């Protein structure tokens, strides 16, 4: 079936000498994988390699068989050409990290317009704002709303947060927990939007410690989750 849909690129993997396998989250059908034959050798085709950089927002005309096999794309065009995401070194390091997190987190599923519109909004916000070193932490915590494990805020004044149970507790458990300064920093991100990120202040060390715990939180709640290789690159850039 031929469809016209918006899509956000999660990853591109070289296949053979001339082709790409692209994983993208579509507005119409959720997560899809496409085989783009010969795109690396063609200079005059309707598909350009540059369109399939991480987190590019595209409009696709695609063939969806919906049989669990690789789909095909007939045409693609950018719908929100970025001004800074792929040129600013801090933002680009975030993009690479978040694209890998999304690729490892969003499972095979049908259409989820709420998640799609959240991704659109967040990426557009980052593109049009000054580099914000805490953006990726809030992005990931907000993402858990759509993945089904956003932290339970009922006992927010408790002394610990149980990462396995996703809730605040008054006494430490045997599960991985947040406590002390890391817990206080964690609380700052709950219930806020991107526009107030500048009010959240952390040292580089505290940010890295909290981010490591957030990645662990994903790993505890998502079957088959892989720790992103780009995490080390992101931390190095922010050093």
Q: Where are the domains of the chain?
A: 2-78, 89-238
Q: Which CATH code for domain 89-238?
A: 1.20.1440.120
Q: Check if 2-78 and 89-238 are the same fold.
A: no
Specify the pTM: 0.94
pLDDT score, position 52: 96
pLDDT score, position 46: 79
pLDDT score, position 121: 97
Give per-residue burial for 210-234: e unless 16+ CB within 10 Å, then b: bbebbbbbbbbbbeebeebebbeeb
Burial class (CB in 10 A: 0-12, 13-18, 19+), 146: middle
pLDDT score, position 32: 95
Q: Does domain 2-78 have CATH number 3.20.20.70?
A: no
pLDDT score, position 6: 97
Structure tokens at 30: 């959720």
Could you read off the pLDDT tens digit of each residue along the chain, which spans 239 residues? 899 999 999 999 999 999 999 999 999 999 999 999 999 987 767 789 999 999 999 999 999 988 878 999 999 999 989 999 999 999 999 999 999 999 999 987 788 999 999 999 999 999 999 989 999 999 999 999 999 999 998 899 999 999 999 999 999 999 999 999 999 999 999 999 999 999 999 999 999 999 999 999 999 999 999 999 999 989 888 77
CB-based contact 30:110 (threshold 8 Å): yes
DSSP per position, the chain: -EEEEEEEEEEEEEETTTEEEEEEEETTTEEEEEEETTTTT-SSSS--GGGGSTT-EEEEEEE---SSS-BEEEEEEESS--SSTTTSHHHHHHHHHHHHHHHHH--S-S--HHHHHHHHHHHHHHHHS---TTHHHHHHHHHHHHHT-PPB-TTTTSSEEETTTTEEESS--SS-EE-HHHHHHHHHTTT--GGGGGG----HHHHHHHHHHHHHHHHHHSTT----TTHHHHHHHH-
pLDDT score, position 68: 76
């Amino acid at each position: 079936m031929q469809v016209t849909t918006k899509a956000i690129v999660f990853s591109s993997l070289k296949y053979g000498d001339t082709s790409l396998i692209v994983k993208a989250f579509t507005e119409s059908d959720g997560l899809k994988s496409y085989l783009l034959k010969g795109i690396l050798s063609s200079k005059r085709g309707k598909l350009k390699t540059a369109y399939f950089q991480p987190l590019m927002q595209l409009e696709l005309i695609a063939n969806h068989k919906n049989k669990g096999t690789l789909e095909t794309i007939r045409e693609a065009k950018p719908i929100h050409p970025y001004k800074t995401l792929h040129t600013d070194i801090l933002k680009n390091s975030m993009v690479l990290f978040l694209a890998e997190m999304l690729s490892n987190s969003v499972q095979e599923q049908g259409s989820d317009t709420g998640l799609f519109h959240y991704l659109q909004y967040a990426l557009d916000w980052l593109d049009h704002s000054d580099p914000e070193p805490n953006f990726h932490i809030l992005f990931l915590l907000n993402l858990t709303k759509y993945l089904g494990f956003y932290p339970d805020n009922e006992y927010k004044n408790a002394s610990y947060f149980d990462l396995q149970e996703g809730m605040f507790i008054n006494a430490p458990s045997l599960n991985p927990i947040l406590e002390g300064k890391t817990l206080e920093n964690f609380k700052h991100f709950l219930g806020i939007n991107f526009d107030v990120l500048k009010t959240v202040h952390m040292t580089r060390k505290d940010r890295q410690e909290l981010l490591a715990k957030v990645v662990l939180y994903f790993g505890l709640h998502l079957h088959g989750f892989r720790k992103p290789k780009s995490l080390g690159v992101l931390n190095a850039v922010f050093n």
